[in-house]
Structure 1
Amino acid sequence: MAKVSISLDAELVVEVMVLAGIGSPQDAIEAVVRDYVVRGHRTEARTELKDRNLREVDAKPQEPQG
Structure 2
Amino acid sequence: MAKVNISLDAELVVEVMVLAGVGSPQDAVEAVVRDYIARGHRTEARVQSQDEPRRTTDSRPPLPEG
**Residues 25-64 of structure 1: matches in 2 within 5 Å?**
25-64=25-64
Q: CA RMSD in A?
A: 1.1
TM-score by structure 2 length? Answer: 0.90
**Aligned AA (2:64):** P
Q: Which runs of 5+ in 1 are unaligned?
A: none
Separation (CA, whole Å) in 1 of partners of 2:18 and 2:38: 21
| 1:52 CA displacement | 2.1
Q: Name the SS for the 2:7 alignment partner.
A: coil
Separation (CA, whole Å) in 1 of partners of 2:13 and 2:65: 61
Runs of 4+ residues deviating >3 angstroms: none
Q: Which runs of 5+ in 2 are unaligned?
A: none
**Aligned AA (1:49):** S
State the number of aligned residues: 66
Separation (CA, whole Å) in 2 of partners of 1:36 and 1:59: 34
TM-score by structure 1 length? Answer: 0.90
Residues 5-29 of structure 1: CA deviation (Å, up to 9, x unaligned): 0000000000000101101000000
Percent identical: 71
Separation (CA, whole Å) in 2 of partners of 1:13 and 1:25: 6
